Amino acid sequence: MQRIVESIQRGAKSGIDACRLFHGRGHCYSGLEFVSVDWFSPVLLISLYKEPDAEWLAQFRDAISLFDKHSDIENIILQHRYLQGAPSESLKGNIAGDYYAVEKGLKFRLNFKANQNVGFFLDMAECRQVLRERVKDKSVLNLFAYTCAFSVVAAEAGAAKIVNVDMAKGALNTGRFNHQLNNIDSRSVSYLGHDIFKSWGKIRKYGPYDIVIIDPPSFQAGSFNVKKDYQKIVRKLPGLLNPNGQVISCLNSPDLSFVFLRELFSDIGGFTEKQVIATPASFPEADADKGLKTLLFESTST
């Protein structure tokens, strides 16, 4: 518990980009595998992924109360991810209000009240940077776009065209807001609120693409099962990409390794692995295959 408190003391200060302060889920801190702490200035978000015993929780609340007078922390939110609906409670401040993640000068709306995921994934920071460096004047397909953080980064970095696809229309509406929030001209940005697997014709119509981003959930009842469905997406790539097109391929399932991704691309052929995109240092993993896995591939087809 003291390790968590020390992480907050080191990291929570005003004016810095959003970041993870403590990553217990990487199994690097024995006994704290169920805890994560994120900083969205001026909000501290603490997430519990399993129910702690009553004594631990009481001691933890006492420890966190040390930050009640911390001038840079206006809100402390405790999210119970192990409960249905992942309810949140305020330990300091008011959970209501407008809050944002800030990264490299860009802002992204957060929702601490209604969603298991608040709307911005901190572990994707390096992926966003790789995209930023490669996207100028390129056409981009953002699959499983959610709240369109990749799209905002791509548009700000000079992408020629971006197509966001996600069946969650509410998330796409947040994506539209995120573009407006950053004063981005969205005339070259499209939002398709469709089931990807029923919309390949429409997706191809907007193409071909220079960069495709695949960032699916590990499992979503009735719509996506990573073991069965990821290969269906990879098989469609040759018909979506321009020559020498690139793919940012993400996998966030602890049960599947880098080998799973590499075999998918090897099986269809015509792709070369260009880079392992690292996870931020604030997400330490005892076993890299258990955490977020992201690979950059390039099409070798002409």
Reported as a single tens digit per residue, the pLDDT across 166-204 is 999 999 999 999 999 999 988 999 999 999 999 999 999
Are 36 and 25 in contact, with CB atoms under 8 Å apart?
yes
The predicted structure's pLDDT at residue 14 = 56
Whether cis (ω within 30° of 0) applies to the bond prior to 87 is no
The predicted structure's pLDDT at residue 96 = 82
Strand boundaries in the chain, DSSP class E: 19-23, 35-40, 43-48, 75-80, 88-92, 99-103, 106-110, 139-143, 161-165, 189-192, 209-214, 219-220, 224-225, 241-251, 271-276, 293-299
Alpha helix segments (H runs only) across 83-168: 125-134, 149-156
The predicted structure's pLDDT at residue 55 = 93
Nearest to 44 by CA among 10, 81, 92, 82: 92
**d(C-alpha 131, C-alpha 151), whole Å:** 10
The predicted structure's pLDDT at residue 224 = 84
CATH 3.40.50.150 domain locations along the chain: 122-299
The predicted structure's pLDDT at residue 286 = 94
| Count of Cβ atoms closer than 10 Å to residue 233 Cβ | 21
Q: Which two tokens stand for residue 209?
A: 């693409």
Residue 202 CB partners (closer than 8 Å, separation 6+): 192, 194
The predicted structure's pLDDT at residue 301 = 73
Is domain 2-110 classified as CATH 3.40.720?
no
The predicted structure's pLDDT at residue 22 = 95
Question: What parts of the chain have a pLDDT lower than 50?
Answer: none
CA 7 to chain centre: 22
Measured between alpha carbons, how far is residue 225 from residues 89, 104, 139, 205, 286 in Å? 31, 33, 27, 26, 25
**d(C-alpha 134, C-alpha 157), whole Å:** 9
The predicted structure's pLDDT at residue 266 = 96
The predicted structure's pLDDT at residue 154 = 98
121-124: long-range pairs with CB below 8 Å, 24+ = 121/149, 122/18, 122/19, 122/20, 122/38, 122/280, 122/282, 122/283, 123/20, 123/279, 123/280, 123/283, 123/291, 123/292, 124/149, 124/150, 124/215, 124/250, 124/292
CATH 3.30.750 domain locations along the chain: 2-110
The predicted structure's pLDDT at residue 12 = 74
> pLDDT, tens digit, for every residue of 196-246?
999 999 999 999 999 999 999 875 666 788 888 999 999 999 999 999 999
Class of domain 122-299: alpha beta
